[in-house]
Amino acid sequence: MVLIHEFRVPLHMTVDEFQLAQLYMVVNASEQLTGDGEGVEILVNEPYDNSDGHMGVSTVSGWVVPRNKGQYTRKHYYCKSKIPGFVSALYGAVGGLGGALGGRY
């Protein structure tokens, strides 16, 4: 049997204001880390609506796309100077990480 705990944190702002503030902070942090050929490249940033389940399985991750509405973002993080030396030695000249995210509220 799986026991699920749900925590609710009251906010001093509306959900729309929170989404705007979160977007601002992500962009602000990305700008601060950008420089010398490093930073974040946004490949895809678009809204999605999969309420009826027509999207099926993601071609990027291979996971089933949740039945909801949200914002899909795919990014490439260039962060060679932030990666520890032993990791760079294991993976060679790889200087970035990729990520896909489907956010919703």
Output the DSSP codes for 36-78: TTBEEEEEEEEEEE-TT-TT-B-TTT-SBPPSSEEEEEEEEEE
Query: What whole-number distance in Å separates Cα of residue 6 and Cα of residue 48?
Result: 26
Predicted confidence band at 67 (pLDDT cuts at 50, 70, 90)? confident
Domain segments of the chain as ranges: 37-103
Query: Per residue in 70-84, pLDDT tens?
Result: 888 888 877 777 777
Enter the pTM of the model: 0.55
Query: Per residue in 49-63, pLDDT tens?
Result: 888 888 888 887 788
